[in-house]
Structure 1
């Protein structure tokens, strides 16, 4: 593994994010789990050669970003926490090779030590499923490195009685306060409603239906509804059988202003977004 990022890879910073967001269509983020226990594809890509092959396949299919994660955060399934050492052991054999493919890479981790390692190798974006509120070292690290960060809404437990959108807004206010105090510029922040995380199936759908209410923050929004459990609440299915529901959710998210779509199924998502855009352009 190379110890330094490829010179062809753009450095982490606001220009990477700005370039992605200036495109007419939402950017498509391809999911790459180098884990044994992720809810949809656990174990499929933990071998370095399989992970690299998967990254290449998603790039060829039109992925604008590769999001790599080495710890399962699967909602509802009792994912077991792993140490930073565990994550690093899974990332080290493959991360620099994926960065060298030349497409921006994001690191899906809630641990500052893991994110620091990834940024050192040329990863462009930090993706924190706890929105800067779990690891106290995350916000200062992001600020010091000048990296864009995806701030995801999360909850320790599900509460079906709450207004989930109000909860999301309050969570994001806390995250943005943490970011501001650390010195993270607002133009480096993306909000993620965290579909499926700390939410009932009904609340996940409400979060999507009311996605436009996040416009009050004036920040780009990422949506990752790919293969999530709420789809099965409408149409019973296993994760691998939820492509249609994932596409439907992502098209609605795009119509409501989402600027990044995170998906396991890159080719199909890219096609759906292009066709929807082509149809809308004829109005």
Structure 2
């Protein structure tokens, strides 16, 4: 039987019908759904016509992430302790500089800190485990020693690196290979009970941009993530502890990236919180004619706002202060603002 996909048509307008459903327990609502099949034209149906199991997955509030409620947008600040990341390599690869940058990101509005010791930019080479550990674990330990007050995520494909990061005080795993690069990551996530982000990527960093192809990028990425989530659950990892990331820029052309961003609300059907990581990516530079990666903040904000409009809960960005300001304004316009308490 042909598979059917359901994409909630997310809205944020204050004129919300009584019959509307809340999307993922967040700030968006929907009363219509795009019903998609691979070999047929899409149809628009009333949300009330959804199968019950699909409705539950689309509407259920997502579990808190390392203590953070996800009924409001969350900003994940990027801290690359690498010499070769695509836009900030070598800036924070010394421990003191990394700690100072972490504190700055937190002060600027980061709800979560994502620390990575291996570049996964197109063309990047693999970093040995011991070197990746020496870059990341001491920074995490140093932050915990000074009572850094935000959750810390370890951005790694390797189980041993993840395990050492957790021992040093990390609260979350972020695996761009969705536990394929190192199958032992499944055990680390299961035993630790920590949240894990599973991301889609086609190919490895060394070759992922050579000639990426899909039958239907939106549906292919959805199917992949659905399969990886099923594998995680089969190994005892609770769905509430899984975050899904469509992997913007990882084995995708510019048009693939745009198709995924347009269809982001489909991924709520996975029943997980969602992470969007488009910060400073090359497609932003191409469209905006901005060659230097560190000059792509306005384009990153535009993509972030597109994600907010579709209910994406976590936004992984470099330019935390600027994106946080944009998110606060969007939130005030969308959900209201009071001088006494902010929102």
Whose RCO is larger (CA < 8 A, sep 6+)? 1
Distance 1:141 1:36 in 2: 27
Distance 1:40 1:208 in 2: 22
Distance 2:312 2:261 in 1: 10
Residue number in structure 2 paired with 1:219: 272
Residue number in structure 1 paired with 2:126: 81
Worse-superposed segment, 105-114 or 209-218: 209-218
Contact between 1:150 and 1:192, CA under 8 Å: does it hold in 2?
Answer: yes
Contact between 2:200 and 2:221, CA under 8 Å: does it hold in 1?
Answer: yes
1:50 aligns with 2:97: yes
1:117 aligns with 2:170: no
Task: Give the TM-score normalised by structure 1.
Answer: 0.90
CA positional deviation for 1:161: 4.9
Contact between 1:105 and 1:125, CA under 8 Å: does it hold in 2?
Answer: yes
1:194–1:72 distance in 2 versus 1, CA, 3 Å: same
* Superposed counterparts of 1:142-153, under 5 Å: 142-153=189-200
1:161–1:108 distance in 2 versus 1, CA, 3 Å: closer
Contact between 1:127 and 1:149, CA under 8 Å: does it hold in 2?
Answer: yes
State the Cα deviation string for residues 207-232 of structure 1 (Å, max 9, x = none): 11100111211211000111001112
Residue number in structure 1 paired with 2:237: 184
RMSD: 1.7
Q: For structure 2, which runs of at least 5 residues remain unmatched after alignment?
A: 1-61, 338-343
1:234 aligns with 2:287: yes
Residue number in structure 1 paired with 2:14: none
Task: Give the TM-score normalised by structure 2.
Answer: 0.75
Question: Which consecutive aligned stretches of 4+ in structure 1 deviate over 3 angstroms post-superposition?
Answer: none
Residue number in structure 2 paired with 1:5: none
Aligned length: 267
1:280 aligns with 2:280: no
Distance 1:230 1:220 in 2: 24
Distance 2:79 2:116 in 1: 6
CA positional deviation for 1:173: 2.1
* Superposed counterparts of 1:88-99, under 5 Å: 88-99=133-144
Worse-superposed segment, 144-153 or 155-164: 155-164
In the alignment, which of 250, 260, 266 is matched to residue 314 of structure 2?
A: 260
Structure number with larger C-alpha Rg: 2
Contact between 1:142 and 1:149, CA under 8 Å: does it hold in 2?
Answer: yes
1:18–1:38 distance in 2 versus 1, CA, 3 Å: closer
* Superposed counterparts of 1:129-144, under 5 Å: 129-144=176-191
**3-state secondary structure, aligned to 2:65:** helix
CA positional deviation for 1:91: 1.9
